[in-house]
């Protein structure tokens, strides 16, 4: 059973190329950007101001093929793709938790975007600490290297 979605908007950022992009919103290279929600969905944005962060789900439109084993940006060993955040997934859905600076009509001003310009936005959810923040979390193989997220940049290995 395939499922089909239609984008609700488009993401804009300074990143036009996969090289040298931030690999997560918490990268020091992440940058302000916007989400432009299409007019037909604007009504759904009511009450969004007041949330400091939103969860963006988007279609990783520049991924050409899935890989089940990847060498992720953090680390040099091959890993199962579902144990990584690499974009070359069977269903290339990206997830970023970014800060919401303000809502201006159908435009969301976002604080720390790690997403390519012109990426199709599929869904937008409020980040809610009581739902989304496990008290204690172990990060498996990433435990030792997750701290490098601030420095490491992407390249086009998953194009």
Which residue ranges make up the site for a copy of itself (CB under 8 A)? Answer: 1-8, 24-26, 37, 41, 43-53, 55, 57, 59, 68-69, 79-85, 89-91, 93, 95, 97, 99, 120, 122-134, 136-143, 146-147, 149
C-alpha distance from residue 127 to each of 30, 104, 124 (Å): 18, 19, 9
Q: Among residues 108, 80, 85, which one has the least CA distance to residue 96?
A: 85
Q: How many Å apart are CA 120 and CA 12, to the nearest integer?
A: 9
Q: Minimum distance from CB of 18 to a copy of itself (Å)? A: 18
Residues 6 or more apart whose Cβ sits within 8 Å of residue 69? 78, 79, 80, 81
Q: Minimum distance from CB of 133 to a copy of itself (Å)? A: 6
* Strand, helix or coil for residue 63: coil
Nearer to a copy of itself, 17 or 143 (CB): 143
Q: Minimum distance from CB of 31 to a copy of itself (Å)? A: 16
Nearer to a copy of itself, 65 or 134 (CB): 134
């Amino acid at each position: 059973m395939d499922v089909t979605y239609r984008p609700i908007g488009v993401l804009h950022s300074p990143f036009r190329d996969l090289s040298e992009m931030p690999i997560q919103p918490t990268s020091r290279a992440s940058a302000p950007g916007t989400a432009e929600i299409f007019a037909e969905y604007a009504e759904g944005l009511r009450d969004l101001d007041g949330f400091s962060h939103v969860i963006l789900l988007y279609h990783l439109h520049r991924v050409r093929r899935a890989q089940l084993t990847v060498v992720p940006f953090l680390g040099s060993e091959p890993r199962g793709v579902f144990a990584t955040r690499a974009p070359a997934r069977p269903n290339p859905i990206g997830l970023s938790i970014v800060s919401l600076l303000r809502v201006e009509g159908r435009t969301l001003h976002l604080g720390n975007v790690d997403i390519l310009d012109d990426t199709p936005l599929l869904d937008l959810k409020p980040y809610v600490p009581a739902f989304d923040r496990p008290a204690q979390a172990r990060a498996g193989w990433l435990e030792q290297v997750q701290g490098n997220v601030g420095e490491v940049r992407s390249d086009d290995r998953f194009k």
